[in-house]
Amino acid sequence: MDTDDLLCLRDVIASGSLTAVARKRGVAVSTIARRLDAIEATLKLTLAGSAPAPSVVNFKTPCAD
């Protein structure tokens, strides 16, 4: 997983759309989906599903130690 994968995740959360992020970055939707798959595989969790996007995600707030 690299920094750009995390930026893709941030953009998907912000826009709520893989298509919007792909269009903004000039890549295929499948490219964005693969980046999210890579994050899921690394973290061994599922980021998306039938639930709405989390509203408490804030990438500007530093993580606690």
pLDDT digits (tens, 9 = 90+) for 9-61: 999 989 988 999 999 999 999 999 999 999 989 988 887 654 455 555 555 55
| DSSP assignments along 15-49, one per residue | HS-HHHHHHHHTS-HHHHHHHHHHHHHHHTS---S
Side chain identity, residue 42: T
Going by C-alpha positions, the residue among 39, 46, 44 that lies closest to residue 1 is 39
pTM: 0.70
